[in-house]
Structure 1
Amino acid sequence: MHEDIQEVLFSEEEIALRVAQIGAQITKDYAAAVERDGQGIVLVSVLRGAAIFMADLARTIELPLEMDYMAISSYGNGAKSSGVVRILKDLSSEVEGRHIIVAEDILDSGLTLTYLLKNLASRNPASIEVATLLRKKTLEQAKIDCKYIGFECPDQFIVGYGLDFAERYRNLPYIGVLKPEVY
């Protein structure tokens, strides 16, 4: 797998440090709300790519929280978004009146995340914020306000730390650019 990587963008150590910084900021931002409301945050992971990020992020947040998962697809096995969004697995938790933080692996086109945020807003949460590990620099990206951004990254096909190409490379401990001849 490593031989398919053109360059490493973010090392395992850089990712761990940035995730810890995001977790500390979330702890600071939500401490009063959690105390006031008497209930924790609901972290929502978009499967499968964001599961690793959410697991690491959850361990750095020093507040009560619940973890839940949605599976939403707009990619298939291609390198570009298909534009068609489908919910494959919905939340198990009740989120009405609760603070939701969507843990997203990468904000690319924004099509999937735009759909997800509208869907979650219809469930009347107290608030919804986005924590994305990566935000690609693209002109066509939907306008999405991400309160927590790990790294800005180039508009290249990247894999590792949960990000895949055709379900491969998710288990790389770093984030790297996939060689064009591989996809």
Structure 2
Amino acid sequence: MFGHLDCPQPKNSPHVTRHRGLPSCGLQLSDSIDKSDARIIMEKTLRIVRSEDEIGKRIRELAQEIRTGVQAVDLTVVGILDDAFMFLSDLVRLLDRPVSCCFMKVSQHQYGGQTEIMFTSEFDPRGRDILLVGGVAATGITLDYISRQLAERGIKSLRTCVLVDKPGERRVDLKPDFAAFESGDGFLFGYGLGIQNQFRQLPYLAVME
């Protein structure tokens, strides 16, 4: 476990507004949304922005991009929970190489502005070639922070990969090395992305209209 870590806001940027039930510290691997009850989604019209077939095709293409772009013999894939679980499971099966997989959870303490980064199993990143896999990169604050924390712990190399990149919402200078999709749509859910832990099982990516 990486103990308790401060997660600073970027200088000269507005405060990152967080909503109850979502991780703070700018963890824009899932976006924020006004949501008093996730069940209202089912009463609205859902617009599918990426179909199951589109996702499958793009993940296959992305796996090929990673096979070509990452030459590491012993690759460690680190998934950021919760949003990355479905994306990661499909992706690693298509990499066609031996990989080590582990998961991390990022949580924000309500008081003190501290962040806890915790791996789900014993893991020493030192000397490893790491592919860090997340769900949605919006502000990029926490993805950047995790990357710097890993770098400080002596990793050999680091590449970042996300399901959805939202560069229009970026608040730090960060560009994922790999992204399945780029989006300017609103709050996405499905294919592992959830609202109050619901709708993660949907095989497509959708927004509420």
TM-score interval w.r.t. the shorter chain?
A: 0.7 to 0.9
Gaps of 5+ in 1: 35-39, 77-83
Which AA in structure 2 matches 1:119?
A: Q
Question: What TM-score results when the alignment is normalised by the length of structure 1?
Answer: 0.81
Aligned to 1:23: 63
- 1:155 deviation in Å? 4.4
Between 17-26 and 43-52, the greater mean CA deviation after superposition: 17-26
Counterpart of 2:147 in structure 1 is 117
Cα 1:15/1:9, change in 2 over 3 Å: same
Unmatched runs of 5 consecutive residues or more in structure 2: 1-40
SS at match of 2:168: coil
Task: Tell me the equivalent position of 1:79.
Answer: none
Q: In 2, distance between residues paired with 1:7 and 1:85?
A: 37
1:4–1:142 distance in 2 versus 1, CA, 3 Å = farther
Native 8 Å contact 1:162 1:170 kept in 2 = yes
How many residues are paired up?
Answer: 165
Q: CA separation in 2, counterparts of 1:26 and 1:156?
A: 27
Query: Is the CA contact 1:41–1:101 (under 8 Å) kept in the aligned structure 2?
Result: yes
Answer yes or no: is the 8 Å Cα contact 1:85–1:112 preserved in 2.
Answer: no
Residue matched to 2:90: 56
Q: Give deviations 1:84-140, integer Å, cap 9, x for gaps.
A: 563352262222111100111110111221221111111111111111110114244
- Pick the structure with more helix per residue: 1
Equivalent of 2:195 in 162, 165, 183: 165
TM-score (norm 2): 0.72
Counterpart CA distance in 1 for 2:137 and 2:45 is 21
Cα 1:3–1:161 change in 2 (3 A) is farther
CA displacement, residues 42-76 of structure 1 (integer Å, 9 cap, x when unaligned) = 100000110111111100101111001000136x9
Letter in 2 for 1:112: T
Identical residues among aligned pairs (%)? 27
1:81-100 matches, within 5 Å, as 86-87=115-116, 89-90=118-119, 92-100=122-130
Runs of 4 or more above 6 Å deviation: none
